Structure 1
Amino acid sequence: MARIAGWRPEEFWAATPADVAAVLGGWRDEEAGGAGVDRAALGAMMESFPDGRV
């Protein structure tokens, strides 16, 4: 979310799933059917871009 929306870690962790979904909703591949970001994709992003929280 830092790269996509400029959120700091505390802003990400304070956000609701709906907040994150609203921001990520624009990140869809229209040619792939516009599926958007599902739970698995969000988990993969969190693993790829950890913010240091344990």
Structure 2
Amino acid sequence: MSGFDWPVLMRLGLHGLRLTPAQFWALTPAELHVMAGQGLRSPVMGRDGLERLLAAFPDETGPEDTGEMSDVGP
């Protein structure tokens, strides 16, 4: 069981919000929740939460990473 009531969500998105199937399936659950007028389920992440996330998933850097932006283009 996924925890989502797909028939209800699809009815809301496709009929209630008049989204195309592509638009509906491109949404995240949080975006659909907000569009349904329900707001966000959890508060916005604060600085402490960001620090915990950064500590748990640090950026991987290689020897070529100087920390400077490069002009990458076609």
The structure, 1 or 2, with the larger RCO (C-alpha pairs under 8 Å, 6+ apart) is 1
Q: Which has the larger radius of gyration?
A: 2
Bigger proportion of residues as helix: 1
| Range class of TM-score, shorter chain | 0.3 to 0.5
TM-score (norm 1): 0.41
TM-score (norm 2): 0.31
